Amino acid sequence: MSEPRALGQAGLKNGGVPATTVWKDIMALIKVGIVNSNAITTFTGLWLALHFSGQGFFNNLDIVIYTLLGSSLIIAGSCSLNNYIDRDIDHLMDRTKGRPTVTGKMNPTKVAVVSFILIAAGTAFLMLTTWTAVLIGLVGVFSYIVLYTIWSKRRYVSNTIVGSISGAVPPLIGWAAVDANLHPMAWGLFLLLFLWQPPHFYALAMRRVEEYRAAGVPMLPVVKGFKVTKVHIYIWIAALLPLPFLFSSLGIPFTIFATLLTIGWLLTGIYAKKFRNDRKWATLMFVYSIQYLTILCVGMVIVTLI
């Protein structure tokens, strides 16, 4: 027993604060996982806009770079500012207690300043594309910081739905950077991301329900319990079923594929009931949700290349 204990202590310093590098702290501060996943959806919107407007990818490489840098920076800045605002409750949750705003490795005032600098820099890059992309980017920042983090997160069980607005903005930014006159398919991408987020985050909340309860965040499973949360998850997934028909321009094979992928998500939930363990059920649904979105986005790009 002494050896594992010694190994555990070796990874800690300063009274139990995990030993990390500056780079890891920065990545945790900007929530690099969220930045990366949103870069995928931003690129999807951008790629489809180039495809349907008949513009070449390499001929618009500058727009691609400005858009991805701009959107990633404003998302990184927004996530950093979210960490600054939530530093008083993040220590109550295992998945957030290692953030540098909690451990004290980063000065809160400096974090706030850096957050606004990142948002300003991202906005500057988007200004090199279209003003529509800039406006949508700022709407995303406002909805995430003000509507979600400050207003609804700690007050309302509908906080996840409110937060879904900002999460659905990236593909719109990507499309608008190429074509300011947003095509209906651009709004289809927005709707896809908006409907996808509640079942994704409800599953996460089920896995972390005690942490959210300790932090006083009224997530659906905290307020209504697992049974009601599962019903809501199924409803939101079912709402995704008609969406492939909004992307009929991508062809019938994609429409069928996307529909089967959504049905697979519902069937996964039914299959996972055999575990008779709500957290295992939630974990499987959470993992499927990540694969679902990634596969759909990649699929949209692939079908335009065939």
Residue of higher predicted confidence among 21 and 81: 81
Q: What are the extents of the domains in the chain?
A: 19-305
Most confident stretch, 4-13, 35-44, 90-99: 35-44
Q: Give the mean pLDDT of the chain.
A: 92
List pLDDT tens digits, range 260-274: 999 999 999 999 888
To the question of pTM greater than 0.95 for the whole model, the response is no
Number of Cβ within 10 Å of residue 174's Cβ equals: 32
Q: Is the pLDDT of residue 1 over 60?
A: no
Residue of higher predicted confidence among 49 and 98: 49
List pLDDT tens digits, range 33-64: 999 999 999 999 999 999 999 998 999 999 99
Percent of the chain with pLDDT over 70: 94
The vertex-49 CA angle with 44 and 52, nearest 5°, equals 120
Burial annotation 116-143 (CB, 10 A radius, 16+ → b, else e): eebbebbbebbebbbebbbebbbbbbeb
List pLDDT tens digits, range 156-201: 999 999 999 999 999 999 999 999 999 999 999 999 999 999 999 9
Q: Which CATH class is domain 19-305?
A: mainly alpha
79 membership: H or E segment, kind and range: helix 61-85
